[in-house]
Amino acid sequence: MQITREQDALTVFLTGELDHHTARAMRQAADDALRSQKPDVLRLDFSGVTFMDSSGVGLIMGRYKLASSLGAALTVRGLTKRDERIVKMSGLAKLVRFED
């Protein structure tokens, strides 16, 4: 996982498998960076994720709540078609913006 800052956006590049074993460390790193850097936009980039279970939906939802409480918007990019469909079916499409 890598985190970069460009102007007012913080991008979290998620990699590898995203499941209940790995999600906790990813959440913690993203939350720490979000709290310390306070960007206008938090971008979660899933292009390096090789597998995602429901923990991915939870990761997005939790980052949305934290970002919102800090006044930041949340965008998501790099999801596979399958994972994007699952995330959208969960209702998160009403809360986050999807980037190409």
Q: What pTM, to 2 d.p., does this model score?
A: 0.94
For residue range 50-63, what is the model confidence (pLDDT) as tens digits?
Answer: 999 999 999 999 99
Number of structural domains, the chain?
1
Kindly report the number of other CB atoms within 10 A of residue 73's CB atom.
Answer: 17
Which residues, in sequence order, are CB contacts of 7 under 8 Å at separation 6+? none
Average pLDDT over residues 29-33: 97
Helix (H) or strand (E) holding 32: helix 23-37
Q: Which residue in 38, 37, 17 sits closest to 26, CA to CA?
A: 17
> CA 37, CA 17: separation in Å to the nearest integer?
26
CATH number of residue 39's parent domain: 3.30.750.24
For residue range 36-90, what is the model confidence (pLDDT) as tens digits?
Answer: 999 999 999 999 999 999 999 999 999 999 999 999 999 999 999 999 999 999 9
**Domain enclosing residue 75, as ranges:** 2-99
The pLDDT value given to residue 47: 97
> CA 93, CA 89: separation in Å to the nearest integer?
8
